[in-house]
Amino acid sequence: MLIKGQSTFLELFEPADAAYVHTWMHEIELRRLAWMECPLPIDLAGAERWIREMNQDPRSRLLSVRRLEDNGPIGLMSLRNLSWVSRSVRSGIMIWPADLWNKGFGTDARRAFLEYAFKQLNLRRVYGRYAAYNQASRRSHEKLGGETTVTARDAVFVDGRFHDVHYYVYKRENYPGLEPAKPGPEPVSPPADQFATVYRVYEDYYGLPRGEGEACDLWRRDKISRPMPDGEYVFSLHEIPQSADLLLLPANGDRCEPGLLDEAIATGFTDLNLHRIQACLPASAVSWLETFKSRGFCDEGRLDGVIFAAGRYLDLVFLGLLSSS
């Protein structure tokens, strides 16, 4: 019992628990609230494979939420994008069956993990997202001190239409009894708005390979890369709702090339039939942000201090562009 709350505890999800996962993966209301990343039905072997892959990835874990009184499984917590450099992790939680909702189990499990994350793992930030129509998640985050700071427009497709998605962040300094995180030194080289910093941010946030010439991971099933004379752009596709994360890799490396961005936008909305293109950039990358905004991208908010680059913690700015814009 590694992580214990008042009414729940968290432990590693094992492939042997796949039958439980397989059941809730096909529950319509739970899929609606969590907009499951597996849009099509999945068999038991697929559920087992998903659990195994999550736990074998050094940047992720899948935890079972269990009730203290009887050890019964009542949900799961996913951890993704774990970064020991940025000292941050993205988390999400689901409670099932539905008759256990609104009884405080999800809030208790999340509270237990936050205490563990800040006191034992020495993390600075825990962040995540929830659909705008999921009011139970909103209330839980408000109760625990989570700050909702990003509204990604039309980022999920449920019940026949697009909905916004909110991103939240929990900050270490808001928890009593913990030493405040010491700020890093001001960057000396390279400047925080140069390409090298932006690339490191993408490496850390998306788990991309380190160093140039190691981009084999960019040609996976869910990524599309296209070289151009002035650089390269990469789309990380989301099957639903026709959206993608955009990564630019300019040839000169120092600034965002407008022509490269224009080509990427045209490809995304014409060749790939996307509804939404989004990018995440450090707030200090001023010239990059200006170029994106000049092409119609809207500033949808930021997550405070979730990325460490160029010697300091940086805010991550969410930019979104819709096909109807």
Domains of the chain, residue spans: 3-126, 195-322
Are 81 and 59 in contact, with CB atoms under 8 Å apart?
yes
Query: What CATH number has the domain spanning 3-126?
Result: 3.40.630.30
Q: Name the 3-class secondary structure at 246.
A: strand
pLDDT of residue 184: 53
Three-state DSSP class for residue 178: coil
Specify the pLDDT at position 138.
Answer: 93
- Intervals of the chain under pLDDT 70: 1, 35-38, 176-221, 253-254
Task: Report residue 124 as tokens.
Answer: 């600075």
CB-CB neighbours of 86 under 10 Å: 22
With tokens 């500033």, the residue in question is 299
Torsion over CA of 193, 194, 197 and 202, rounded to 10 degrees? 90
Using one digit for the tens of pLDDT, what is the confidence trace for 53-80?
A: 889 988 899 999 999 999 989 999 999 9
Contacts of 181 (CB under 8 A, 6+ apart): 87, 124, 172, 173, 313
Pick the closest to residue 55 from 83, 87, 80 (CA basis): 80
pLDDT of residue 24: 77
Give the per-residue pLDDT at 241.
75
Q: Which architecture does CATH list for 195-322?
A: 3-Layer(aba) Sandwich (3.40)
What is the DSSP secondary structure assignment for residue 182, as one 8-state letter? P
pLDDT of residue 249: 85
Domain pair 3-126 / 195-322, same fold: yes
What are the distances in angstroms from CA 183 to CA 7, 94, 170, 196, 282? 36, 34, 17, 21, 16
Q: How far apart are CA 188 and CA 312, in angstroms?
A: 10
pTM, full prediction: 0.88
- Cα separation, 77 vs 94, in Å, equals 7
pLDDT of residue 178: 67
